[in-house]
Amino acid sequence: MKDFRAGEVLLINKPLTWTSFQVVNKMKYLIKHHPSLVLDGKRVQPKIGHAGTLDPLATGLLIVCTGKQTKNIEKYQAQEKEYTGTFYIGATTPCYDLEKEIDAHYPTDHITDELIHETTKQFIGKIQQTPPLYSAIKIDGKRAYDIARAGQTAEIKPKEIEITVFEITRIALPEVDFRVVCSKGTYIRSLARDFGLALKSGAHLTALCRTRIGDYKLSDAMSIEEFENSLKS
């Protein structure tokens, strides 16, 4: 039997359009009557949190910690991540993904398969990357996405990240599929923007799935429905 008060590390496959916060809230609701939460005849509410936010339009592995395991969240967040997804070449959006409508189109006639593969090499290793304005980064105490949604702009300083694998797995222009292995703090949406610029065009992210965090794999994760059913068995 699981012991949510003592601490569990749960691997969840985040559904499309759900926020990471919604996943945590749903799981908190599902476990609130679990027998492990009774202490001296009284029901307690354990701490619960996730290790590494996924955007609503991303799917894949979300590590959710309960109880004493929440102390290890930073350790899980710091681990290497692996993603697969799709870039759309030749158009951009303000948020670098499908949350906003396309705001500009760019030429793609000059883009060849060879150029696409060659361009990935520019992003291997330690590089400087500027996070999207539509992100949870704080600027003077405000979330960047709140500033963006208010129609304002702000300067976001670039930071160092590391990409160890940037592999193109399918080319069917305007779509390009990829696999990326990277450090904590890497924004794949920003990689889409920068990749488009490096191609002397534009690009945005149309699909993203996190497949691994450290040694934890998406193939071992449960859906929300499977987690709910596991509580009944």
Indicate the angle between helix axes 224-232 and 20-31, nearest 10 degrees: 10
DSSP 156: -
Phi, then psi, of 210 in degrees rounded to 5? -90, 120
DSSP 61: E
Asked if the peptide bond before residue 174 counts as cis, ω within 30 degrees of 0, the response is yes
- Catalytic annotation present for 220: no
CB atoms within 10 A of CB 27: 22
Structure tokens at 151: 């129609």
> Which is the catalytic residue, given 3, 40, 55, 113?
55
In DSSP notation, 74-99 reads HHHHTS-EEEEEEEEETEE-TTSSTT
Instruction: Give the ranges where 59-172 is alpha helix by DSSP (H).
Output: 73-77, 113-120, 144-149
Distance CA 24, CA 12 (A): 10
Distance CA 145, CA 150 (A): 8
* Interior/surface letters 28-54, b for 16+ CB within 10 angstroms, e for the rest: beebeebebbeeeeeeeebbbebbbeb
Give catalytic residue positions.
55
